[in-house]
Amino acid sequence: MNEPLHYRSTRGARHGACVDEVIAAGLAPDGGLYVPEALPSLELSAFDPDGTLADTATTLLYPFFRGTAMAEALPVICREALDFPVPLRPLPRHGDASMLELFHGPSAAFKDVGARFLAACFRRLRRNDATPLTILVATSGDTGAAVAAAFHRQPGVRVVILYPDGRVSPRQAHQLGCFGDNVQALRVAGSFDDCQRMVKAALNDAALQASMPLSSANSISLGRLLPQMSYYAHAAMGWWQRQRSPLNLIVPTGNLGNALAAVWVREMGLPIGEIQLACNANATLSDYFDGENYTPRPAIPTLANAMDVGAPSNFERLRWTFPRDYELRMQLRATSVDDDTIRQTIVWHAQEHGEVFCPHTATAMHVLDRMGATDLPWAVVATAHPAKFESVVEPLIGRHVEVPPALQAMLQRPASAEPLPADDEALKHWLGYQLA
Ligand SMILES: *Cc1c(COP(=O)(O)O)cnc(C)c1O
């Protein structure tokens, strides 16, 4: 049983890749996304009932790493990456419902989990490389900050962040530009989809790759997706031990990385019940799960800006997991929540329960509210701390949201970003110029 798991691209090419290669590359060479050739499955008895989040992650992820050089380091990688709490907190006055808080990491959003895991893997993968690796990140706000925080001052790596100018919150923009050293922020005159396309174009440019090793740290990277499975596994195992019932999830969703992690954990045999996607006004997924053809479209700006995605990349992985539409539509439900409803949800919960949610988390809270009385135990996934989106939240609730210390420290540093047109060649030129 020490045969390594092999990986392939969703678009067919590059069968038989191993996990080190897949994590180092980010995107598959044919432009597809890497997936395991088959998802492993696990018995619940494999998990230590008293284990930490890092212990659960090690057990869960071992089958993905077994038989490779990194397998031995996996427990340490998990401990380094998952060194902050991910509590499942009961929601007062919501029956059996609870909130899975994913925002206690350095950048106050769930993306810290994937970014820190990826950085911990890269520290092992790139020990002996002389040429520095350039990591390209397209971000709708939160990915960039998490990746910047995770890789800041890591030797042998530099990080280039692309974000849609004017479409991230002032505090997000500050977070992206405040690192310096090996981290450079570019503010792109376009949408997140533009940023993502530019990164893909650079990664797929063989000539550029030959002169400058490039990788990505987007949610398309399996090195981010895999560790995101850990908190679902841990929460579901804990719930199972106490309640002997599966945990049902409502996941704020944009590019589908976070929700796909939950789907894969369920496929691996862990006790997760229903999974509902909460989307903002970008309705590509809710339309699809309502029975329409899958139709990617340009993103529209909303209050939940980290979910402003009209063409969710990870849909390709979801399709790989469930190739037939009817089968896929049985796995998930999706609801689109407009900005007015996000506002009302934030105001209502602050007034009624004294609970303050970020706009992304509010989409999921709305899905729970709309269900009314339910027998199922739901966990609403809280993807970011509300203080990250103070320009949306504070005017609505009429008071200050306390800023977590790590975020406070970032906000006290000066910040800067370079402007860039929303053009594939512009990024390639910028990178080439940096090299010269
Ligand atoms: C990135 C992000 C999301 C969307 O996650 P996906 O994996 O892209 O679906 C939701 N909420 C917050 C706060 C985020 O940063």
User: What does the alpha-carbon distance between residue 366 and residue 304 come to, in Å, rounded to a whole number?
Assistant: 13
User: Which pLDDT value is given to residue 191?
Assistant: 87
Q: Read off the pLDDT band of 128 (50, 70, 90).
A: low
Q: Read off the pLDDT band of 435 (50, 70, 90).
A: low
User: What does the alpha-carbon distance between residue 118 and residue 273 come to, in Å, rounded to a whole number?
Assistant: 28
User: What does the alpha-carbon distance between residue 174 and residue 161 come to, in Å, rounded to a whole number?
Assistant: 13
Other CB atoms closer than 10 Å to residue 241's CB: what's the count?
A: 13
Question: Are residues 375 and 364 in contact, defined by beta-carbon separation less than 8 angstroms?
Answer: no
User: What does the alpha-carbon distance between residue 215 and residue 23 come to, in Å, rounded to a whole number?
Assistant: 9
* Residue minimizing CA distance to atom 8 of ligand 1: 255
- Rounded to the nearest angstrom, the distance between the alpha carbon of 28 and the centre of ligand 1 is 22
User: Which pLDDT value is given to residue 129?
Assistant: 67
Ligand 1 atom with least separation from CA of 361: 11
What is the secondary structure of 129-146 as a DSSP string?
A: -SSPEEEEEE-SSHHHHH
* Residue minimizing CA distance to atom 2 of ligand 1: 306
| pLDDT tens for each residue of 403-423 | 999 899 999 999 999 999 999
CA-nearest of 431, 170, 168 to 308 is 168
| pLDDT tens for each residue of 295-335 | 999 989 999 998 999 999 899 999 999 999 999 999 999 99
In the chain the domains, ranked by start, together with CATH numbers, are: 86-109+223-402 (3.40.50.1100)
| pLDDT tens for each residue of 44-83 | 999 999 999 999 999 999 999 999 989 999 999 999 999 9
- Rounded to the nearest angstrom, the distance between the alpha carbon of 56 and the centre of ligand 1 is 23
Ligand 1 atom with least separation from CA of 256: 9
* Residue minimizing CA distance to atom 12 of ligand 1: 383
Helix (H) or strand (E) segment spanning residue 162: strand 157-164
Helix (H) or strand (E) segment spanning residue 333: strand 333-336
